[in-house]
Structure 1
């Protein structure tokens, strides 16, 4: 008979290092939700802020990293997961490999996200079959939030306070006002 593990014991290889990539322009409560949930299943999470100048970000990469970091201490304290925030460019599988990650975390908001994410997961697997993609579906209260919509609503004078953390709200409104 195989002895059962203690109920709270963590066996080696039960938890891994993962990366959660994104542009985070701006970081939303939906991103924070996915990070919180990923932190519950990983020992180490690297949040990768993509340079991605092609998307025309409103925040420089350093500020996007700062806004993500501002939310991580509470999540790390609550989950016991080590969370790092760093920038990256290039292939996602290279970023994952460089950080010792065997898992790529991707958030899904709606069925429309799935087709693109499914294709990306397949391509990443072909590039490096040792790295798995794990999809986390957004909580029902965050399924409709996207950075693109948040920016557009803010630029049109709408209330984005329920979509972003407090510091991000302050910085986004200041950025929108200064560009008007």
Structure 2
């Protein structure tokens, strides 16, 4: 079974890597895909995000890296023969945001969403937090 792990990955964090690693154990193939959100200005170029995802996928069997710039997530899934979306969730706020999208993806295309709970040691890490700390010269985004 093929699954899609979509996100902006701007930047890739240790939490993203953990969800990808765990998803790779559950599915035959996981496509981790940089999805461009027109309502968000990217902090890192798409190619850099793809390079960091390729690095994060090193040693993980059945993981492919891709990007999608236009159309809905369900359109990408239909075109690639993917029936499952993976979403990492850190807390109830993430679920509040993710569940309506999961329901809409199911309504539009019958796509199921599998939620993977964040590792408690990484649940506080967000791309925004990593970027802000990195701007202040303390850390570099994970790759």
Unaligned runs of 5+ in 1: 1-15, 77-81, 169-180
1:155 match: 135
8 A Cα contact 1:46 1:99, kept in partner: no
1:172 match: none
In structure 2, C-alpha distance between the alignment counterparts of 1:30 and 1:134, rounded to whole Å = 16
In structure 2, C-alpha distance between the alignment counterparts of 1:120 and 1:54, rounded to whole Å = 16
In structure 2, C-alpha distance between the alignment counterparts of 1:145 and 1:42, rounded to whole Å = 25
Task: Give, in angstroms, the shift of residue 53 of structure 1.
Answer: 4.7
Alignment counterpart, residue 49 of structure 2, candidates 48, 56, 64: 64
Task: Give, in angstroms, the shift of residue 72 of structure 1.
Answer: 0.9
Q: How does 1:123-142 map to 2 (within 5 A)?
A: 123-129=104-110, 131-142=111-122
2:17 match: 32
Which structure has more RCO (C-alpha within 8 Å, separation ≥ 6)? 2
Matched, 1:96 2:77: yes
> With structure 1 as the length reference, what TM-score do the two structures score?
0.74
For each residue in 1:85-107, what CA deviation from the matched residue of structure 2 results, as whole angstroms up to 9, or x when unmatched? Answer: 11003211111121211110001
Task: Give, in angstroms, the shift of residue 51 of structure 1.
Answer: 2.2
Unaligned runs of 5+ in 2: none
In structure 1, C-alpha distance between the alignment counterparts of 2:85 and 2:22, rounded to whole Å = 13
Moved over 6 A (4+): none
Task: Give, in angstroms, the shift of residue 142 of structure 1.
Answer: 1.0
1:12 match: none
Q: How does 1:39-50 map to 2 (within 5 A)?
A: 39-50=24-35
Alignment counterpart, residue 88 of structure 2, candidates 103, 107, 129: 107
For each residue in 1:29-75, what CA deviation from the matched residue of structure 2 results, as whole angstroms up to 9, or x when unmatched? Answer: 00000000100000011011012253221211111101110121222
How many residues of Structure 1 are paired with residues of Structure 2 in the alignment?
Answer: 142
